[in-house]
Amino acid sequence: MNQIIIDGESLSIDDVVAVARYGAPVILGEKAKAAIMRAHDWVEKIVEQGAPVYGINTGFGIFAEQRIPNEDSARLSRNLILSHAVGTGPALDEEVVRAAILVRANTLAKGYSGVRVSVVETLLSLLNKGVTPVVPCQGSLGSSGDLAPLSHLALVYTTDDRNLEEESGWAWYQGEILSGKEAMAKAGIERIILGAKEGLALNNGATFSAAIAALAVYDATTLLDAANVSLAMTLEAVMGCLAAFDERLHVARGQIGQIQVAAAVRKLTEGSELTDAYGRVQDAYSLRCAPQVQGVSWDTLAFVKKIVETEINAATDNPLLFDPGVAVSGGNFHGEPVGQVMDFLGIALTEVASISERRTFRLTDGHLNADLPPMLVDRLSAAGLNSGLMMPQYTAASLVLENQTLATPDSVHSLPTSAEQEDHNANAMTAARHTRQIIANTAHVLAIELYTAARALDLRLRQSPQIKFGSGTNQAFGIIRQSVAYQPGDAWWGPEIDKVHALIIERKLESSTFS
Give the active site residues: 54
d(CA 43, CA 115): 8
Residue 186: C-alpha distances to residues 33, 117, 154, 169, 179 (Å)? 27, 22, 17, 15, 11
Upper half-sphere CA count for residue 297 (Cβ side, 13 Å): 30
d(CA 201, CA 321): 11
Cβ(234)–Cβ(269) below 8 Å: no
d(CA 235, CA 247): 17
d(CA 31, CA 19): 21
User: With helix as H, strand as E and coil as C, how does 355-380 read?
Assistant: HHHHHHHHHHCCCCCCCCCHHHCCCH
Residue 398's contacts (CB-CB under 8 Å, 6 or more residues apart) are: none
Beta strands in 175-258 (DSSP E): 176-179, 192-193
DSSP three-state, residue 318? coil
Residue 432: C-alpha distances to residues 148, 180, 242, 317, 456 (Å)? 15, 26, 37, 19, 36
Upper half-sphere CA count for residue 11 (Cβ side, 13 Å): 36
- Residues facing 246 on adjacent strands: none
d(CA 78, CA 198): 9
What H or E segment, with its residue span, contains residue 443? helix 428-463
d(CA 22, CA 326): 40
According to DSSP, residue 65 is labeled T
> Which amino acid type is present at position 303?
F
**Among 332, 406, 428, residue whose Cα is nearest residue 140:** 428
